[in-house]
Amino acid sequence: MSFEFSGKTYETDDDGYLINLDDWNQDVAAYIAEQEGVEMTDAHWEVVNFLRTYYKEYSIAPAIKILIKEMKKMFGPEKGNSAYLYNLYPAGPALQACKIAGLPKPTGCV
Amino acid sequence: MADDLKTPLLDELEKGPWPSFVKDIKSLAGKKEMAKDLLRQLEKSYEDKRGYWKHGGLVGVMGYGGGVIGRYSALPEEFPGVSHFHTLRINQTSGWFYTADALREILNIWEEHGSGLLNVHGSTGDLVLLGTRTEELEPTFRALTEKGWDLGGSGSDLRTPSCCVGPGRCEYACYDTLSLAYNLTHAYQDELHRPMFNYKYKIKMSGCPNDCTAAIARSDMGIIGIWKDDIQVKPDAVAEYVDSGLDVQGLVVENCPTGCIELDGNEIKIDNSNCVKCMHCINVMPKALSPGKERGAAITLGAKAPIVEGALFGSVIIPFMKLEEPFEEVHDLIERIWEFWDEHGTNRERIGEFIERVSLATFLEGIGEKPLPQMIKAPRDNPYVFYEEYYAEEGEGEK
Ligand code: HEM
Ligand code: HEM
Ligand code: SF4
Ligand code: SF4
């Protein structure tokens, strides 16, 4: 699958996750977010930027537990909790924020 | 029955006097393409001796990370009815009490939005609604929540707390399992709906050591009713049992695992200091014997099915805790355990595996509990952890 945006074609998997990590930029992220019904604020970008930094370092998206912990470290306890993250990304920080951050779809058992 | 449904292998499972899931699913096959294709795919699995379900795939509803288990057929062209076949876990009521109207409500919603098939109740305790499509998840969730139902847990979260019927029907209950399950479910909504643990955490509550929820084997945390003082004996009723011909000597005295009961004519004597509270004598003579008056619960940690390590039973972490509303002492313990497990546990490591890895001594220190003689694998067994070093260090500190 793929989609067109600003005159460029973006390859995606069946669920709309970007195939190439390097295709990603802020504009296309905002576009994917719009398709998801998410309006990006500074708070949203904090999460997306963290996910990309982490992925570049470890080649894997962080477990939710680590995401929460790191958010707590960087931005304090009012942002380092799951209710806050689900408020920003109602479909789930794993599924939705990874999509907007241009990371592969997280897999999960059960 | 639908004529175009040929399932000779499955039909074998309709024979015999016992309930049959094939019969159940067939009863919906005339109405639901989903049920029909479920049978067809299963028949093919039996022919080919392999499963045709793909595993997993994260699906859910807005705002929740748990409660829906994604399932897809590996043969969606052949069996379009089950191309999506997601499961919803619905938070059960304490003790599984429903009105017929409430169950009808669920059935109507599920026939409209899903396969109509249910598993009531699953091993988790939830009402399990089997089989719907991704696009039906939000509408189902909306229909359910409008009527006051909610999803249960799945994934790496607090699983739906589950309890035995307890004081709702059973005189053995040593604490109010129904209230505690209700209380914990409400206290930990965030942990229940938004997975953020290393792995699943199941809490099961049984009112007495008969352990009808199998908490000792199937829950990361078992809260099992127990008493501290003596078994209550009604001498008249004992005499009645003896007179009525019950073989008290053979069935009770000789089956007591610690041999702490004596029968003297029509009278029994129990050496309570040696009773391990197995419930046997009470179960055989319920009219004569009952749990003591000083009641509460023992708390066990660590049971699980085999995944990384082999199967584990729970072992005692708190030998006795009084359990009364608002249950603050339980909350406090749960939170200390979660905090330490969260900080030091690894991904997909259950609490039992975690304790085995770091050692019980380290774990106890981490959650701020003292080692006690009850923390052994089985009554009258050798303690499986040696505390010399632990005590030496502590002793030195105090001097
Ligand atoms: C590579 C394939 C699979 C892996 C690694 C896997 C792994 C797991 C694990 C780790 C659990 C949790 C067990 C526990 O501790 O309670 C589980 C549960 C479960 N799995 Fe799988 N699984 C696989 C395939 C499947 C398939 C193909 C199906 C069905 C089509 C399935 C259905 C289930 C169900 C229904 C449960 C929940 C059981 C319960 O809670 O009673 N799994 N699986
Ligand atoms: C011959 C067929 C099957 C067998 C022998 C079987 C066996 C089991 C067993 C032993 C459990 C644990 C049950 C408990 O203790 O409550 C279980 C749970 C479960 N099974 Fe099956 N199963 C079969 C077919 C299916 C099918 C066709 C599906 C769905 C497509 C399914 C979905 C589930 C689910 C979702 C659970 C978890 C229930 C919960 O949350 O507690 N099973 N199954
Ligand atoms: S566990 Fe004990 S209290 Fe609960 S229902 Fe069973 S026998 Fe009764
Ligand atoms: S509860 Fe069990 S151990 Fe205790 S006296 Fe009765 S049979 Fe013996």
Give the mean pLDDT of B67-85: 95
Same domain (yes/no): B216, B345: yes
Distance (Å, whole) CA B103 – CA B124: 18
User: Residue B110 sits in a domain of what CATH number?
Assistant: 3.30.70.2500
Q: Kindly report the protein residue whose alpha carbon is nearest to atom 8 of ligand 3.
A: B170
pTM: 0.81
Closest ligand 1 atom to residue B304 Cα is: 15
Summarize pLDDT for B338-370 with one digit per residue, the tens. Answer: 999 999 998 889 999 999 999 898 999 999 998
Same domain (yes/no): B180, B142: no
Give this complex's ipTM. 0.70
Distance (Å, whole) CA A43 – CA A36: 16
Report how far Cα A108 is from the mean position of its chain's Cα atoms.
16
Q: Is the pLDDT of residue B382 over 70?
A: no
Task: Tell me which chain A residues have a C-beta less than 8 angstroms from the C-beta of B58.
Answer: 92, 94-95, 105-108
B397 Cβ neighbours under 8 A, 6+ residues apart: none
Same domain (yes/no): B132, B279: no
Bridge partner list, B312: B304
Is residue B324, in this structure, part of any structural domain at all? yes
Distance (Å, whole) CA B347 – CA B340: 14
Q: Looking at residue B161, what DSSP letter applies?
A: P
Our count of domains for chain B comes to 3
Q: Is the pLDDT of residue B209 over 50?
A: yes
Superfamily of domain A2-100: DsrC protein, C-terminal domain (1.10.10.370)
**Contact B175/B225 with Cβ under 8 angstroms?**
yes
**Contact B9/B102 with Cβ under 8 angstroms?**
no
Summarize pLDDT for B269-297 with one digit per residue, the tens. Answer: 999 999 999 999 999 999 999 999 999 99
Higher confidence at residue A63 or residue B218? B218
The predicted pLDDT at position B377 comes to 58
Element (H, E) at A31: helix A26-35
Same domain (yes/no): B275, B366: no
Give the mean pLDDT of B53-78: 89
The strand pair at B221-227 and B203-206 is best described as parallel
CA B91 to ligand 3 center in whole angstroms: 21
Q: Looking at residue B199, what DSSP letter applies?
A: S
Give the mean pLDDT of B46-75: 90
Task: Tell me which chain B residues have a C-beta less than 8 angstroms from the C-beta of A82.
Answer: 65, 190, 194-196
- Which has the closest alpha carbon to B220: B310, B303, B337? B303
Residue B189: phi, psi to the nearest 5?
-60, -40
Secondary-structure breakdown of chain B: helix, strand, coil percentages, each rounded to the nearest 5: 40, 15, 45
Interface contact B307, partner A, CB < 8 A: no
Same domain (yes/no): B187, B263: no
Residue type, B80: P
| Tokens standing for residue B320 | 């006795």
How many other C-beta atoms lie within 10 A of the C-beta of residue B230?
15
Looking at B117, B146, B175, which one is the last position of a domain?
Answer: B146
Q: Catalytic positions of A, please?
A: 109
> What domain range is B179 assigned to?
162-227+297-375
Average model confidence (pLDDT) across chain B: 91
Looking at B146, B180, B208, which one is the last position of a domain?
Answer: B146
Q: Looking at residue A12, what DSSP letter applies?
A: B
Summarize pLDDT for A29-61 with one digit per residue, the tens. Answer: 999 999 999 999 999 999 999 999 999 998 888
User: Residue B251 sits in a domain of what CATH number?
Assistant: 3.30.70.20
Beta strand residue intervals within chain A, DSSP E = 2-5, 8-11
CA B324 to ligand 2 center in whole angstroms: 36
Residue A97: phi, psi to the nearest 5?
-70, -35
Is residue B385, in this structure, part of any structural domain at all? no
Same domain (yes/no): B136, B167: no
Give the mean pLDDT of B82-101: 96
Same domain (yes/no): B276, B318: no
- The structural domains of chain A, with segments of one domain joined by +, span 2-100
